[in-house]
Amino acid sequence: MKRIVLTGLALAAVAAAGIGGNWAGVRGLPAPGVRAWFGFEPRPAAALSDGTDMVIYYRDPDGKPFYSATPHQTNDGRAFRAVRASEDVSFEVKPPASAEATVPASARRILYYRNPMGLPDTSPKPKKDSMGMDYIPVYEGEDDGGSVVKVSPGRLQRTGVRSEVVERRTVGRRVRVPGTVQLDERRISVVATRSDAFVNEVANVTTGDQVTKGQVLLRLYSPDIAAAGAQFLTDLSIGGRDGTVGGARQRLENLGLSSRVIGEIERTRKVPLSVTWHAPRDGIVLERNVVDGMKAAPGEVLFRIADISSIWVLADVPEFDLGVVRLGAPATIQVRSLPGRSFEGHVSLIYPQVGEATRATRVRVEISNPGGVLLPNMYADVEIGTGGVTPVVAVPDDAVIDTGTRQVVVLDRGEGKFEPRVVKVGLRGGGFTEIREGIAAGDRVVVAANFLIDAESNLKAALRSLATPEAQP
């Protein structure tokens, strides 16, 4: 019955559209009955032997996609080739070869009948729809609880269904966030006095100059240092009875004198009028707040020096990405002033606070600064690597159907059977998604056209729910 109806529809289409010559060629349509029209692989029908092998249409003699319902000729005068009913194609889809195919339909129990147009309508007994088409019987074994979908090989080829084996692999991605270059707080030193002093002379050092540890910065006179130095010499001259020398030395150290200056006083047995102040570390001069002849108050910053051989980059990581960032994670830094150049570092600290306004957490990345090319307050683009080193069960991103409230993958169970499976996902990155629950390594999942199978599964479940209780599987 289905073959007769479909063939009749095809002939009617040919007759209706073909009058007047090259109807299909003009409209760019392929041959009647080919895969592009009906969505399956054509196969020749058996030749008829009862004398009714009629001509159903005419086609181009060179096999081009030009057809006619009446005899026709090409532009160069050659006649179109007649196509008879026995030469046309079959419109039936051959079911896949399986164990079930060997069982006659009469030997299997019919569960219910479903609408031939795929509408959510079922019947416990045979019936016709409003167009006169028979409802399709659903046999026992064709409905596996509502979740398993069975697809014919021809349809698999048409829809482009493709599956892959689930494997264990490392999953990671790069978190890209903005950042700024900042000084390493542990590499900053301040030069200041601990008593009132008068600056006699400042060395030829200005802001931005590179200095080395022990380099002379200034000479100054301090009454407190002079008094403590005199007491130190007195104690030395009397032999340092009762530990008085140690107390005088301690007072000089408390006033900020270096061991080098104290040793010079002890060696020369003289208190110098000007005490030399040296650079406490290698670095660049960030601030110079001193001039010749000025008076310096206790604690006043005279110089600020920073070592920029190693520097920090502070990046703001959004709250939703914070869970994948870990201590020690590799990071790549790029600055706009140095295009094409990158710096490698690692995450040394995740600050324990989320910004109330930005909903981001500050992350500190430590990097080396060769040549001092990175300067404080530069803008930087930060890429932080995420993911662990332990392989996990992962599938391609295309295998996961994410509805927003649930995540589904479609398992390929072989022989054209597919089963949607709800899963719990984890980290995503590199084109793969971690699956924490639902499937295991070695399973096959659909990575192409999976949403079509999932949609058919949902439709199948809806049809089952509409079946009468006595007709439900």
For the stretch 99-124, pLDDT in tens is 444 455 556 778 788 777 666 677 88
Instruction: Tell me the C-alpha to C-alpha distance, in Å, between residue 360 and each of 4, 167, 355, 357, 426.
Output: 68, 34, 5, 8, 21
- The answer to whether residue 126 sits within a structural domain is yes
What pLDDT does 363 receive? 94
Q: CB neighbours (10 Å) of residue 111?
A: 20
Q: CB neighbours (10 Å) of residue 18?
A: 19
13 and 66 share one domain: yes
Q: Residue 141's pLDDT band (boundaries 50, 70, 90)?
A: low
- The answer to whether residue 37 sits within a structural domain is yes
Domain termination site, one of 385, 400, 431: 385
289 and 198 share one domain: yes
pLDDT tens digits, one per residue of 379-415: 999 999 886 667 889 898 888 888 778 888 888 888 7
Residues in the chain: 473
pLDDT reading at 52 higher than 70:
no
Q: Residue 234's pLDDT band (boundaries 50, 70, 90)?
A: confident
pLDDT reading at 45 higher than 70:
no
Question: 282 near 213, Cβ under 8 Å?
Answer: yes
327 and 280 share one domain: no
360 and 317 share one domain: yes
Lowest mean pLDDT across 99-108, 281-290, 325-334:
99-108
Among 75-79, 93-97, 176-180, the range with the most confident prediction by mean pLDDT is: 176-180
Q: Residue 43's pLDDT band (boundaries 50, 70, 90)?
A: very low
pLDDT reading at 428 higher than 60:
yes
Q: CB neighbours (10 Å) of residue 160?
A: 9
80 and 27 share one domain: yes
What does the pLDDT average to over 414-434? 83
- The answer to whether residue 22 sits within a structural domain is yes
Distance of CA 347 to the CA centre of its chain: 20
pLDDT reading at 344 higher than 60:
yes
CA distance 187 to 14: 87
The two tokens of residue 326 are 């870990």
Question: 13 near 19, Cβ under 8 Å?
Answer: no
For the CA atoms of the chain, what is the radius of gyration? 44
- The answer to whether residue 94 sits within a structural domain is no
What pLDDT does 187 receive? 93
- The answer to whether residue 301 sits within a structural domain is no
Domain that holds residue 135: 100-145
Q: Residue 457 belongs to a domain with what CATH number? A: 2.40.420.20
72 and 217 share one domain: no
Domain termination site, one of 354, 385, 416: 385
Domain termination site, one of 234, 267, 296: 296
Among 120-134, 330-344, 417-431, the range with the most confident prediction by mean pLDDT is: 330-344
Higher pLDDT, 42 or 312: 312
Question: 245 near 235, Cβ under 8 Å?
Answer: yes
- The answer to whether residue 471 sits within a structural domain is no
For residue 51, the 8-state DSSP code is S
Among residues 124, 134, 152, the alpha carbon closest in space to that of 1 is found at 134
323 and 363 share one domain: yes
Lowest mean pLDDT across 68-82, 211-225, 457-471:
457-471
Question: 117 near 129, Cβ under 8 Å?
Answer: yes
- Which residue's structure tokens are 């698999």? 156
The three-state secondary structure class of 224 is helix
What pLDDT does 463 receive? 54
What pLDDT does 37 receive? 40
What pLDDT does 32 receive? 44
pLDDT reading at 23 higher than 50:
no
Sign of the dihedral through C-alpha 439, 445, 451, 452: negative
What pLDDT does 33 receive? 43
Instruction: Tell me the C-alpha to C-alpha distance, in Å, between residue 5 and each of 48, 114, 338.
Output: 18, 19, 73
122 and 139 share one domain: yes
Q: What is the DSSP string of 288-332?
A: E---TT-EE-TT-EEEEEE--SEEEEEEEEEGGGGGG--TT-EEE
316 and 461 share one domain: no
Higher pLDDT, 415 or 243: 415
- Which residue's structure tokens are 């069982």? 103
- The answer to whether residue 302 sits within a structural domain is no
What pLDDT does 289 receive? 93
The three-state secondary structure class of 406 is coil
What pLDDT does 433 receive? 87
What pLDDT does 38 receive? 39
129 and 268 share one domain: no
- The answer to whether residue 354 sits within a structural domain is yes
Supply angle C-alpha 362, 366, 369, rounded to 5.
130
Question: 330 near 346, Cβ under 8 Å?
Answer: yes
What pLDDT does 460 receive? 60
CA torsion angle for 101, 105, 109, 112 (degrees, to 10)? 100
Return phi, psi of residue 425, to 5°: -100, 160
Beta bridge partners of 412: 418
How many structural domains is the chain composed of? Answer: 5
378 and 438 share one domain: no
323 and 180 share one domain: yes
